[in-house]
Amino acid sequence: MYLITPRPALILCLLYCSQPLAQSTNIRDCDDGATYPADNNPERFIGVCRLEGSTSTFTYDDTVPQQGEIQFTVRSCSTWWGEICEHAIPYTATTTGDNNGNNFILRRDRGNQTAEIRLAYSSGGSTETLNPATNGSQLFPGAANGAHTPASITVTMVDPGTNLRNGIYSGTFELTIDQCGGSYTWGVDPEACDGRYATTELLNLTFHIELRIRSRIRIHGLDDMFLTATTEGQKAARHSASGPPATRCFASLPTVRTGVASSYCGESIWCPIRQKSSTCPAPGWKH
């Protein structure tokens, strides 16, 4: 009987070729990944700043598709036992969350109504619409020396103008970032980026989205209605198609005689001679 001893290269392939080499937990989310003394801790290589655990709230606008943009930054770099995370490493982005098989959805806080949305990831001049059923494939740029690159996730309605009932529509989503790598070779710095394997992965970074739908009252046929509040806390309303709103006068009205000017709500009015006084302004109102 022969004892077969696996070769070291085969062992390395079994360990690394089918899965990412290391995983980051985003504990170093906003720094530059530098370490003194040097080590190869994967926490240094990927960091996402100002996204994890965040809640982005937007007010629904049924006149445009885009509802808002979530902005954050990403560090994606690599080093081989260097104190500085000097090499820029491109990466792919994948988002998971509540969906109906085709699109992501937000759920209303009461009832069972949902809003279908699209999420698009952008960074470094590249954009990819994130599909809930597939992993991301677009390569986004990292940056040398641990620098952070601006990134964003745009929230867009699938059907703009959808008549949604008032309330809060919300959802929880998770972002995964996979650094682009190649077949693993000890001592290679940085890894060749052939897209076959990830070198470091950041899994399931949670963020929340809220879409608020305000209550609206639409009154048709009252385009010529004016509402004016007085300092006494009362309101007067009067139809007027050609002039300013009427304002109630609370002062007593002196007697109006024909042919003379009289005080009326602090202003002078004139009732012509031989004209019936009924044609003068109605008591208690001024224009």
Secondary structure E strands in the chain: 22-24, 46-49, 55-59, 66-78, 87-88, 91-97, 104-108, 114-123, 126-130, 149-157, 167-181, 197-213, 225-229, 235-239, 247-248, 261-264, 267-270, 285-286
Q: Is 14 helix (H, G, I), strand (E, B) or coil?
A: helix
Question: Which one has a higher pLDDT value, 205 or 40?
Answer: 205
**Residue type at position 163:** N
Per the structure block, which two tokens stand in for 239? 């139809």
Instruction: Report how far residue 115's alpha carbon sits from residue 159's, in angstroms, rounded to the nearest whole number.
Output: 9
Return the pLDDT at 264. 38
Helices (H), the chain: 8-16
CB 36 within 8 A of CB 170: no
More confident residue, 228 or 105: 105
Cα(50)–Cα(52) distance, integer angstroms? 6
Let me know if 234 is exposed, middle or buried by CB neighbors in 10 A (0-12, 13-18, 19+). Answer: exposed
pLDDT of residue 182: 63
* Angle, vertex CA 156, rays to CA 147 and CA 149, nearest 5: 5
The 8-class DSSP code of residue 147 comes to: -
66-114 pLDDT per residue, tens: 999 999 999 999 888 899 999 899 999 999 999 999 999 999 999 889 9
The residues with which 74 forms a beta bridge, in sequence order, are 48, 149
pLDDT at 62 over 50: yes
Residue 249 has pLDDT above 50, yes or no: no
**Phi, psi angle pair for 199, to nearest 5°:** -90, -45
Task: Extract the tokens encoding 145.
Answer: 């020396």
Give me the pLDDT at residue 197, please: 57
**Contact assessment for residue 238 and residue 246, using Cβ atoms and an 8 Å cutoff:** yes
Q: Is 91 within 8 Å of 138 (Cβ atoms)?
A: no
Contact 88, 178 (CB under 8 A): no
Helix (H, G, I), strand (E, B) or coil at 40: coil
pLDDT-based confidence at residue 4 (cuts at 50, 70, 90): very low
- CA distances 115 to 8, 118, 211, 213, Å, are 53, 10, 9, 11
Average pLDDT of 231-259? 40
7 vs 153, which has greater pLDDT?
153
> What average pLDDT score do residues 173-195 get?
69
Q: Would you say 93 and 128 are in contact if contact means Cβ atoms under 8 Å apart? A: yes
CA distance 247 to 262: 19
Res 124: pLDDT:
96
pLDDT digits (tens, 9 = 90+) for 115-158: 999 999 999 999 999 999 889 999 999 999 999 999 999 999 99
pLDDT digits (tens, 9 = 90+) for 273-284: 334 444 444 444
